Every structure is written in C-alpha cells, then in structure tokens.
Structure 1
Amino acid sequence: MSQETDQEGASLIELQEIDQKHHIHPFTAASALRQAPPFLIDGASGCYVSGQGIKLLDMMAGLGCVNVGYGRKEMVNTAAEAMQALSYYHSFSAVSNPTAAALSGLIANLAPEGMNRVFFANSGSEANETVLKLIRYYWRSKGKPEKKIILTRDYAYHGSTLATTALNGNPAMLEPYGLETETGIERVRAPYWYRQGGSDTPEQHWKKAAQDIEDKIIELGAENVAAMFVEPIQATMGAIIPPEGYLPEVERICRKYNVLLVADEVVTGLGRTGHWFAQETFGFKADIMTLAKGLSSGYVPISAVVLHDDIASVVEDGENIFQHGFTTSAHPVMAAVALRNIDILMKEGLVDRVRTDIGPYFAKKLASLADLPLVGEVRTCGLIAGIELVSDKTTRAQYPIEAGICSHVSQAALLRGVIVRPTGNNIVLCPPFIVTHKEIDAAVDVLAEALTEIENAIKAS
C-alpha cells in the first residue's frame, strides 16, 4: 500500500503534500496552495482551535456555526450512541426514525407561530435549493405557474449550488459561471447605508431600499413574482444589519402583492441574534425559513426548511409524491446531534446569554474600535459584528478591494492568535455563544493592534 493511501502515522509535511496534490479547497485560490502548504487544524476545545503546535482564539466559530463551542463531550457521546443504535436509514416512502421525528417536533415548537412543517437536508445551500423547488411547486399547485421570478438583494449570500449561487449578490461568485444575468432572478438594493446611502440619512436609505422591492414587483408584474429571499443579517458580505422597520416593511410589501417571503436564517437561526430566530429580533414573519449552521453547531452536516402551515397545506395536498429529497435527509445520527445541541442551548441558557449578557458586552467592547482611523463603522447584533474599513471616515470612501486591506488586518490578527474573517472591506466576527468577557477583551485588543499596524504600514508606503 502506498504512503498516500496509508495515512496512519503520516507526518505533517506528508499530509500537507497529499492535501496539496489531491484536495480541492472551497473558496480558495489554487495559487495560494501552490505558494504555501495548507494549515492543518487538528484539534479544538471551547473557543479555540489548534494545529501545527499553534492555538488560536476562533472569533468566527468556524463559519459562524460552532455556537456551543468546540469539543463538547456530550455531543461526541450522543453521536456515538446514535450511530451504535441506528447508523443510517433513509426517510423516503413514509419511513422515519426516532431522532428525526423528535427534532422536527422540537423545531416546530421553537419556530415562529404557524411554522410547523420541517424538511431536512445537509447544508444551507441544499435547504435554499429545496425552497426554490418548493416555491415552484406551491405556485403551480395554486394554478399560478407564471409566478416564477425570485427577488434577491445586492450583497446577498444564499449558497453555492448552481441555483442558489444565482441568488447571490456578489459579482465575483456569479461571473465565473455566467450567472450575472440568470433569468428568473432579479436583484434589488440592500439596506446598506454605509456603502450605498450617499447623502441620504440611514432612515431615508432603508425606506428607498424597501421601496425598490415594491417598484421591482410592479415593474415585473406581481403575477410573475414568486418570492423574496432575505437574510435577516447579510452575514457573509459584511454583517449588514437591517435598520429598525426595514424587514417589517419588506413583509408588508410581500403580503400586499402576494409574494412569498423567505427568511434565510442559516446564520441567524438558533440564537445568534439573541432570540431563537431573527424574525423575533427584527419583528417580521416569513412564509418559509431555512436553518443550518447553528442547528448542530457545525458538529455534523444538517439543515432544515421550515414551512408555515399555509404553505405546507398546499405542498402536501393531494396524492402526488413529493419528488425531492437527499440520501441523508433526516439522518438519524445528524438529528440526534442536533437535538443534543438544542438541549445544550436550552439548559445552559445560551440564547438568553447572547441577548442579555455576552451580546451587549461584545457590542460595547467592539464599539471602542470605532475611533481608530481605519474604522468607519462598527455594527453588532447579538454575537455577530461587521467592522467597516475606510480610507476616509468623512466621505466613507473605501480602499480598492484589490488592495486587500481587510486581509492584511485579519492576517495581522491571526499572527497574534485570533481568527476573524475578512470579506470585501469588512472584518466579520461571529464567536461561539460560550465566549467569555476575557476572550472578547483579548480579541478586541488584538484587533486594535492589527488595525493600527496596518494603518501605520499604509502611511509608510
């Protein structure tokens, strides 16, 4: 057996070489792996990850998903026990399993009123892809097959399948696949005052952003518009937090024109904003909701589509077979781990902690960075934050994206032992719910040092 097929006992360098030769990394430039070997993470506990002898404070909770923290013994034991009992069986043809049944009921009990039907998938992308199909199914069942157009927003992120990529508002994700002008997808303005508000006040801007939705529906014809997708907080593109009143107004517009409202709560669901769902935080109600990251705290792949009864009653009406599903939908081990994850959130009061203790502390400490020359704005909600970097605070002018200022700041923070995420000209933070005051203090101190270092480098160049 060759060394590449017998991994046990392989050295770090050997594993890195194997990875470089065979592993295609998501959202990674191939040139990066040619220039340097991948960094191998091989352990994690609490809010820290470690690899290659280095310990790092992870202020991103992986990708905004490890809400209960790393290395929870009860999660590991639950997975082992569930796998011992029932390692796998499908959920096709009216078959289920105890953990999937229990999880669907628990989600329905936690979800906003009227959202009682749950479909399981394996990722946020799959959940949103499922929603796109369900929307088609719904309107065809209602005798309105012409309602096909999906509205989405600038700066949106809804996944990386072909269909969900087309929903995204990041041109860099669309252009390589020729999806910039994908038919059936229409984009409207995001409530992103800092970048798009111009001379308007924040209130004027969000009202215009909401009006854009109504104008687009009128332009296209309400009889042709099927649904509006929103992330309550546009996390991937910079933690864009909507102003008070915006999302209720979006809901009002959708109701007025008989357009379905989809809440992509892949990031915000299960406590990130200080409530179980961001719909409660921002005061609106969706017809369909998607969940993923926080559902299992990233311990296993699982996602869910949650339907309001009004939608489910149409989708499930009649004798037709629901022609959709995945081999591992409602996987018994994944469902068991998700149940344990929610149990931890409940027993330890972690969602309340985000709202009443650690979230406010997080916001207060990060606000101290606003006076630094590179920082234009600090946005926080619960345990998610976006830090805007600017070249001119007065005009809100940003550095060219190709200058990579955010990447330089995040790298400077990484070298000091803290993981944050650069995205465009924003630094994003989404720490685990168990993060301590002391760990937040350390992370903010490191960010202040990193921002100052890069500002001094810019001045010297």
Structure 2
Amino acid sequence: MPSATPTTFNDGNVITKPSKARCTADGSAVDVATRSKSISTVLHRSLDQDPLRVVSAQGNHLLLSNGQRILDATGGAAVACLGHGNEQVRQAILNQMMEVSYCHSLFYAVTAVEELANLLIESTEGEMTRAFFISSGSEAIEAALKLARQYHLEKQPSEPQRSHIIARQQSYHGTTLGALGVGGHVARRALFEPLLSTRSSRVSPCYAYRGKASEFEDDDSYVNRLEAELDAEFQRVGPSNVAAFIAEPVVGAALGCVPAVKGYFRAVRKVCDKYGALLILDEIMCGSGRIGPEPTVHYPKPLHAWQDPSIGVTPDIMTMGKGLGGGYIPVAAMLANRKVVEALKGGSKAFQHGQTYQSHPVACRAALEVQKILMQDDLVANVRKQGKLLGRLLKENLGSHPAVGDIRGRGLFWGVEFVANKTTKEPFEPQEAVASGIHELGMQQPYSISLYPGTGSADGKRGDHILLAPAYTATEEDIAEIVSTTGRVIEHFFSHLQRA
C-alpha cells in the first residue's frame, strides 16, 4: 500500500532550505519560505518557491529585483568566465544575428562555426582534429558516448561487442539519460535508475583526501592501487567489451574541485591503451582555462585541463561546455582526435548523430568571441596568478576552522569540504543541510555572495562542500573580497549550527 507521505528527493539540483535560525544573517525570525512564495508558471527547480529575480548583471555582480547586489563568486555553475555584460561579446552576437541566426547544419556551413572549430583545434596543437558543437554539456557527453561506440564499429578490424563504459564513483557527466547513466552521482541517479543503461560501471575516484589508505600513503602507491582497480574492472567486464573510460580531469560538482594526483591519468591512459578502449575526458566544468593549466614546451598557451603537466595525457575524445561560451549563449563542444576521425573516414564517412541546434551560428559566434578574448587578453595567465592567491588565502583563512576538512582546487576552481569531525573526517548528516545552508546564508545581507553548494562528496549521500569559481578577469581585490566574505559566512553558519 502506498505511503501517505510523499517521497522526497534531494539530488543537489534543488536548494534544501535550512532552519530559520541558521538562514537569517541578522538573527531575526524571517521565514525564507514566505519571502519567495511561488506564483510563477515556469517549472522552476522548486515548485514551492520562486527563485530570486535578476534584473541586470555587470562584471562580478547580479542585481536583484529587491535591490540586492549579489557577488557572483561562482560564475553561476562555473560558467561566467568573463563575468557578466561583456560588450565585445554582445556586439559579436548582434553582428551574427544580422548575418544569419539559424540554418540547418545538415545543409549549410557558417563562417563563425568554421572559425570556432579552427581555433579550438589549434588550441590542442593539432591533437584533436574535428569539433562538434551542441547546446549543453549533457549533449556533448551524449555525442562522445555515441562517437566512442561508432569508432569501435567502424575501425578495422571492427569490434561491435564494445559497448560498456567505465566511469568513476562520485562523478557527474550530465543529466540526460545517457550521461546520467555513466555518471556516479548517487542522488541524481536515484530517481531514474530503472531507465539508466546497465552497460556501465564505476571505479573509485582519484580523491586523495578520502581515498588514500592513510596519511602515510604516497601518491605513487595511491596511483598504483587505483590503476590496479581499473585494470581489475576491465577484467571483470571483459576487456574486449569496454568501449571507453570517462573521467573529469578535475572533478567539479560531485566532489567539489578535486584534482587528480600526479601520475593518475598516465596510469589510466596505460590501462585504456592496454585493452584498446578510448579515453574520454570531460572538461565541461574544469576546462576552457578554468584550472589555469601550466605552460609547457609543447603547450606554451594551454587552454585545456589535460594540457597541464599534472595530467599529462591526450584524450581520444574530449568535451567542453560552461567556459566555452561564458554563459552568453548555451553552447558546448565535443572534440575528437585523428585516430577516431580516421576510423569514421574509413567506414561510413559520417558521424551518425545530429541535432536541430547543432553548430548554431549565434552560439558559435558567441563562443568564438569569448575564446578570442581569453587568448588576446591572456586571461589563462591571470587564472593561474589569481588562482594561486585564491588557494593560499582560503587555506590561511579557513584551514584551521574545525568544520573545514579539506580545501582543494586548481586555478580559479576551488572547493571547501565540511566535516563534523576534522580528525576522523566524519561528514555531517544530510538533514543538517550544511552546504545549502551556507549558500542560503551567503545570499542574504550583509554577505550577498553566491557560493555553489554540493552534497554527497563523502559517500554519494553524505558530505558537504561549496565551490568557488570566479571570473577569469578577477583582480587581487576581487579574490580578497571573495575569501573574506566566504570566511564570514562560514563562521556565522557554524556558530549558529553549534547553538541549534
């Protein structure tokens, strides 16, 4: 017999409202639920409360209809890499609309699309050879999975049995059924498990804070363990059945900016090559300059996370999103290397996948302008510079806080993980709503800062973190303000939590 109480789900896509005592910055008993009662006909993230309404945006700030000015310390979901209201991008979009706003990519090509593809292929120093443009990161992952499957069908000799994808626990690759099916975000998968493909499996993430056997295990030993686990998973599934391994170079929303230890991806590449599987790197959140990859002789102007020497491998297929277009127009991309493209050339001579808004002229023109600005203004260098400052100040200001377990990240992509016990790393229970409570408190005056919350970092269900992803144009003053405000929010939140 069905329960009279409706089941509730928290997949991280809806903010769980904390109690009154913890969500009011001045200590007053204002009920958050009453200040945004739902009257909208839009199917918003929550059906009980309407989101705050933005009336304008410029630089690092969003202006709300109530007059509040929010410091956007996360670029939304690590999207607004140039900040808001860039006039050069706006003008480029307008110019493209004056030429052509839409045409079907099955029949026509557009200059902006060709130029964007050329720019991105050149940014890989020719390691990738073709680009495919769509409207979202989830769509990019769908395309990558399909391309991996088609590669094994059309290469010589073909291996049609290869259809299994190995991914990692506590990963997130998108919300469409194919992308969700390979991902390891427990909460986001839960409701839709019966619809998800069973031709995927997951191994442990490279997550030094919680994954190392002890504080005495060095990086090499840790990498060797993870390599052996991945190899064993290939053996369990059957090496000739695996089409690809997919991973984020720096894990974003699911873990909160967790970079892999040095040598990990070289080990992964070795296992994939050993068994003939493709390596797909998901750079939707951490790519397009976000981690400030360090230059090398081969990559003097690095843009992609995999070009950083700490990662040190070239993928067969990669995906881009968020920072590609900076939020000005929805746009994402999948790039493929020569080996993959040549297999298709020798077979059907086509990628057997297409979408209505594929290679959308306005979207690609916006992305082209964003990427030109990144390169012309050398903004990735600023990401490296300000990212080092951001990491140092976070550790100096928050490292000793009893509820802060780990501070990790790279470039302008940093996460703070919270724990109930700093020594044992015991996470808070989900009902404490720590991450969403910190976000909600930060959004209120006098703080007025947006901090991106995440849950499940400890075991898929428990574990709270916030993510910081400022614009690439951030100054030292911006970074100092973000860290100072974040620190005050965290201090306030946990002082109230202890008294509750």
TM normalised by structure 2 equals 0.84
Partner in structure 2 of residue 82 of structure 1: 96
Partner in structure 1 of residue 139 of structure 2: 126
- Would you say 1:266 and 2:284 are equivalent positions? yes
Partner in structure 2 of residue 169 of structure 1: 184
- Of residues 304, 319, 336 in structure 2, which corresponds to 1:277? 304
Partner in structure 1 of residue 271 of structure 2: 253
1:64 offset after TM fit, Å?
0.5
- Would you say 1:47 and 2:60 are equivalent positions? yes
- Of residues 229, 244, 247 in structure 2, which corresponds to 1:227? 244
Q: Which amino acid aligns with 2:498?
A: K
Greater displacement, 233-242 / 108-117: 108-117
Return closer, same or farther for 1:20/1:189 CA change in 2, 3 Å cut-off: farther
| CA shift digits 1:199-220 (9 cap, x unpaired) | 3636244432232111100111
Return closer, same or farther for 1:362/1:327 CA change in 2, 3 Å cut-off: same
SS across alignment from 2:117: helix
Checking the alignment, whether the CA contact within 8 Å between 1:193 and 1:202 is kept in structure 2 is: no
SS across alignment from 1:99: helix
- Of residues 285, 288, 291 in structure 1, which corresponds to 2:317? 288
1:290 offset after TM fit, Å?
0.6
- Of residues 444, 449, 453 in structure 2, which corresponds to 1:418? 449
Q: Structure 1: how far apart are the matches of 2:467 and 2:226?
A: 23
Q: Structure 1: how far apart are the matches of 2:139 and 2:92?
A: 25
Partner in structure 1 of residue 70 of structure 2: 56
Checking the alignment, whether the CA contact within 8 Å between 1:385 and 1:430 is kept in structure 2 is: yes
Q: Structure 1: how far apart are the matches of 2:197 and 2:362?
A: 37
SS across alignment from 2:481: helix
Return closer, same or farther for 1:385/1:180 CA change in 2, 3 Å cut-off: farther
Q: Structure 1: how far apart are the matches of 2:350 and 2:214?
A: 53
Q: Which amino acid aligns with 2:468?
A: L
Q: Structure 1: how far apart are the matches of 2:139 and 2:151?
A: 18
Partner in structure 2 of residue 102 of structure 1: 115
Q: Structure 2: how far apart are the matches of 1:409 and 1:321?
A: 49
Checking the alignment, whether the CA contact within 8 Å between 1:112 and 1:285 is kept in structure 2 is: no
SS across alignment from 1:42: strand
- Would you say 1:215 and 2:232 are equivalent positions? yes
Partner in structure 2 of residue 12 of structure 1: none
SS across alignment from 1:371: coil
Checking the alignment, whether the CA contact within 8 Å between 2:344 and 2:350 is kept in structure 1 is: no
Return closer, same or farther for 1:202/1:376 CA change in 2, 3 Å cut-off: farther
Q: Structure 2: how far apart are the matches of 1:131 and 1:224?
A: 17
Q: Structure 2: how far apart are the matches of 1:320 and 1:104?
A: 19
| CA shift digits 1:231-262 (9 cap, x unpaired) | 10110111121111111111111111111000
Partner in structure 2 of residue 92 of structure 1: 106
Checking the alignment, whether the CA contact within 8 Å between 2:40 and 2:50 is kept in structure 1 is: no
Q: Structure 1: how far apart are the matches of 2:286 and 2:395?
A: 21
Checking the alignment, whether the CA contact within 8 Å between 2:178 and 2:196 is kept in structure 1 is: no
Q: Which amino acid aligns with 1:23?
A: V
SS across alignment from 2:497: helix
Q: Structure 1: how far apart are the matches of 2:195 and 2:454?
A: 20
Q: Which amino acid aligns with 1:358?
A: Q
Q: Structure 1: how far apart are the matches of 2:183 and 2:115?
A: 33
- Of residues 41, 45, 56 in structure 2, which corresponds to 1:22? 41
Partner in structure 1 of residue 15 of structure 2: none
Q: Which amino acid aligns with 1:47?
A: N
| CA shift digits 1:335-386 (9 cap, x unpaired) | 111111111111111011112x211111111112111111111102001011
Q: Which amino acid aligns with 1:359?
A: G
| CA shift digits 1:40-71 (9 cap, x unpaired) | 11211111111121111111111101111110
Q: Which amino acid aligns with 1:24?
A: L
- Would you say 1:314 and 2:343 are equivalent positions? yes
| CA shift digits 1:60-110 (9 cap, x unpaired) | 1111011111101111111111001112111114x2111111111111000
Partner in structure 1 of residue 81 of structure 2: 67
Partner in structure 1 of residue 391 of structure 2: 363
Q: Structure 1: how far apart are the matches of 2:358 and 2:314?
A: 26
| Alignment RMSD | 1.7
Q: Structure 1: how far apart are the matches of 2:453 and 2:359?
A: 34
- What 5-or-longer segments of structure 2 have no aligned partner? 1-35, 294-302, 456-463
Q: Structure 2: how far apart are the matches of 1:312 and 1:297?
A: 28
| CA shift digits 1:126-185 (9 cap, x unpaired) | 011011111111111131010110001011111111111111211111121125973111
Counterparts of residues 376-395 of structure 1 (less than 5 Å):
376-395=405-424
Q: Which amino acid aligns with 1:279?
A: W
Q: Structure 1: how far apart are the matches of 2:51 and 2:43?
A: 11
TM normalised by structure 1 equals 0.91
Partner in structure 2 of residue 159 of structure 1: 174
- Would you say 1:448 and 2:490 are equivalent positions? no
Number of residue pairs the alignment of both structures matches: 437
Q: Structure 1: how far apart are the matches of 2:377 and 2:42?
A: 38
Q: Structure 2: how far apart are the matches of 1:42 and 1:436?
A: 25
Q: Structure 2: how far apart are the matches of 1:48 and 1:215?
A: 48
Q: Which amino acid aligns with 2:453?
A: P
Q: Which amino acid aligns with 2:257?
A: A
Q: Structure 2: how far apart are the matches of 1:360 and 1:193?
A: 20
Return closer, same or farther for 1:182/1:330 CA change in 2, 3 Å cut-off: closer
Return closer, same or farther for 1:129/1:39 CA change in 2, 3 Å cut-off: same
Q: Which amino acid aligns with 2:128?
A: M
- What 5-or-longer segments of structure 1 have no aligned partner? 1-15
Q: Structure 2: how far apart are the matches of 1:180 and 1:150?
A: 16
Partner in structure 2 of residue 304 of structure 1: 333
| CA shift digits 1:315-344 (9 cap, x unpaired) | 233455533111111111111111111111
Q: Which amino acid aligns with 1:69?
A: G
Q: Which amino acid aligns with 1:280?
A: Q
Q: Structure 2: how far apart are the matches of 1:63 and 1:115?
A: 26
1:412 offset after TM fit, Å?
2.1
1:112 offset after TM fit, Å?
4.9
SS across alignment from 1:448: helix
- Between the aligned residues of both structures, percent identity stands at 29
